[in-house]
Amino acid sequence: MTTDYDKETSEHLLNLRNLTVNDYDDLKHVMDTLYPDMGGAWPKDKFLAQLQVFPEGQICIEDHGKVVAAAFSLVVDYDKFGDQHTYDEISGNAYLTTHDPSGDVLYGIEVVVLPDYQGMRLGRRLYEARKELCRNLNLKSIVAGGRIPNYQNYANTMSPQQYIEQVRKRLIFDPILTFQLSNDFEVKRVLKDYLPEDQESKGYATLLEWTNLYYEKKQSPLFGAVKTHARIGCVQWQMRRLKSVEELIQQVEFFIDALSDYQCDLALLPEFFNAPLMGLEDHKTSLDAIKALALFSDEIIENISKLAVSYNINIIAGSLPVIKEGQLYNVSYLCRRDGTMETQFKIHPTPHEKRAWIMQGGDQVQVFDTDFGKIGILICYDVEFPELSRLQNEKGMQMLLVPFWTDTKNAYLRVRCCAQARAIENECYVVIAGSVGNLPKVESADIQYAQSAVFSPSDFSFPHDAIMAESTPNTEMTIIVDLDLTKLEKLRYEGSVQNYVDRRRDLYQINWLKKS
C-alpha cells in the first residue's frame, strides 16, 4: 500500500505488490546482504521458476521503486509431506516443483528484509499479506520452517526444545522465532537437518503454523467433479476403401458407440484416419490428393463433435489435413463431450510430408483441461522430440495422446520406443493409436503397420513392463484401459526414482521461443 506522503518530500514511499521478473537485481542485493555465509541469493533461474509456478505467492515491499523486503510461498497438499520434512523436500529445492494448486496449505519458504529496514515492521506487513492470501485461497493454514539463529549462543547449555520454550516465555530473544510467535504462529515441533547449511541454527528449525479461522472445507460436487481415474478407449483403425464421407462417419460412430457403451472417458483415433477418402477420385499428384482430402475436414470434425456430445465421450479425432491461409497443416482435434473443441497442430511434419505435401508445422504446444485431468496431444513424429512433452509436462500434463500413422515396423518402433521414453521421463501415461490394412491405388497410404498401446511410468505401482495394454499387431480392434491418475502424484514424491523432482533446474531448462 502506498503512503499518502508526496514522493519528493517523504523519506519513504512503500508499496506492497507481487514480485516481477525485473525485481531480481534488487532481490539479489537483499539476499546477498542477509546470507553471505549461506550462499547469498538464489540463482535467477530459480527466482524465475517461482514466478512462473505461483506468481500470486511471491510478494514484496518496494521503497521508491526499489525492493527492500520480500516473502515467498507455495501451496502444497500437506499430507504428502507431513511434519517430518526438509526445506528442499517441501519446496522442490526452492524451484516450487511441489506446488499443488489443489493443495490445502500455504507454505512459506522465505521472508527477507534489508537490514536498514528491519525496524519498520515490514515483516509484519508481509505476514499479513500472506494471511490475506491464505484466506482468499481458502487454505487451511500457513505452515513454515523457521530458523532459530540465536540458538548458536545457547547450543552448549540447552536443547532446541528448551531454547524454544525460553523464547516462548520471552526469557530469550530470537530475531526470527520471537517475531513469528508475535504474529500468531504456533510451534508444532522441532525439525532436525531442515537446513543443514544453517550453522547459526545448528541445522534445527521450528515448524510453525498459523490457522485460518475462516477456512471452509471444500465439498466435493455431487456432479462434474474432476475424476481421479480415467477409462481410455483406443481405436486401431482399419484402412478400407470408402465411397463417401457419410460412410467414414458411420465407421467412426460404430467405434464411438462401442467405447461409450463401456463408459470410456475418451476415445483416441489414429493420425489421418480419413485417408481412404483420397481414393474417392483419381488425382494427378499426391499433393492434389491431400488437398482434396483437406476439403472434407470441416464436415468430418463437425460430425465427430456431435458424436462426442450425443455419446457423452471425449474424442481425439486423430488428425486431419487442414488448409489455413493457403498453407497445409496436420491438425488434431479434441472434441469434448460438453461440445467445446480445441486443436493441436503437428509441430514437425515428416520429410515426406514436407516434400510431397508441402506441409507446414504448427507453432504452439498445449495442455488441455478435461473432466478427467490434463492431457497433451502430439501427432506421430512429434513424440520423437522429447522437448515438446517436457514443455507439456511442466504445464501439468498427466496423459499424452499420440495418434500415429506408420507404414513399416521400423517406423512404428520409432514411435513406440519414443512414446515409452516419454512416459518414463515425464512420469505420465502415454496412449498411441495407429491404423492398419492396405489401401491399393491410394498414393502414400498403400500399406500400414501398427500396434496400438498404453504405456505407464516404470515403477512398482505400475505393470512390470510399463505396458498397461497393447493391441494385436495389424488387426482392427479397440483396447480399453483404466488409468489411475493418483498413482502419478504418488510416484512424483515417493517413486524409486523421481524424474520430475530431481530435474536439475539449476543447470538446464527448455524455453519455448515462439511468442504467442
Q: Do residues 270 and 318 lie in contact, with contact meaning Cβ atoms separated by under 8 Å? A: yes
Of 203, 202, 208, 213, which Cα lies nearest the Cα of 176? 208
Q: Are 480 and 233 in contact (CB under 8 A)?
A: yes
Q: Sign of the CA dihedral 220, 226, 230, 235?
A: positive
The answer to whether residues 286 and 278 touch, using CB atoms and an 8 Å cutoff, is no
The enclosing H or E element of 63 equals strand 59-63
Distance of CA 125 to the CA centre of its chain: 32
User: Does the annotation count 271 as an active-site position?
Assistant: yes
Q: Which is the catalytic residue, given 234, 380, 418, 428?
A: 380
* Cα–Cα distance list, 451 to 101, 164, 255, 317 (Å): 37, 63, 17, 18
Please name every residue paired with 454 in a beta bridge, in sequence order, or none if there are none.
Answer: 431, 469
For the chain, the helix, strand and coil percentages under 3-state DSSP, each to the nearest 5? 30, 25, 45
Residues 508, 502: Cα–Cα separation, whole Å:
12
Catalytic residue among 202, 346, 374, 487, which?
346
User: Inter-axis angle of helices 24-34 and 44-53, to 10 degrees?
Assistant: 120
**How far is the C-alpha of 59 from the C-alpha of 28, rounded, in Å?**
15
CB 457 within 8 A of CB 423: yes
Give yes or no: 380 in active site: yes
Residues 6+ apart with CB under 8 A from 329: 321, 322, 323, 345, 346, 359, 360, 361, 362
Whole-angstrom distance between the N-terminal and C-terminal Cα of the chain? Answer: 33
Which residue type, as a one-letter code, is found at position 189?
R
- Catalytic residue, candidates 271, 353, 394, 470: 271
The question of whether 346 is a catalytic residue gets the answer yes
User: Alpha-carbon distance 74 to 58, whole Å?
Assistant: 8
Q: Which among 391, 468, 464, 447 is positioned nearest to 422, based on CA atoms?
A: 391
Handedness of CA 11, 17, 18, 21 (dihedral sign): negative
Distance separating alpha carbons of residues 292 and 302, to the nearest angstrom: 18
Record the cell numbers describing residue 502, joined without a space. 530431481
Catalytic residues: 271, 346, 380
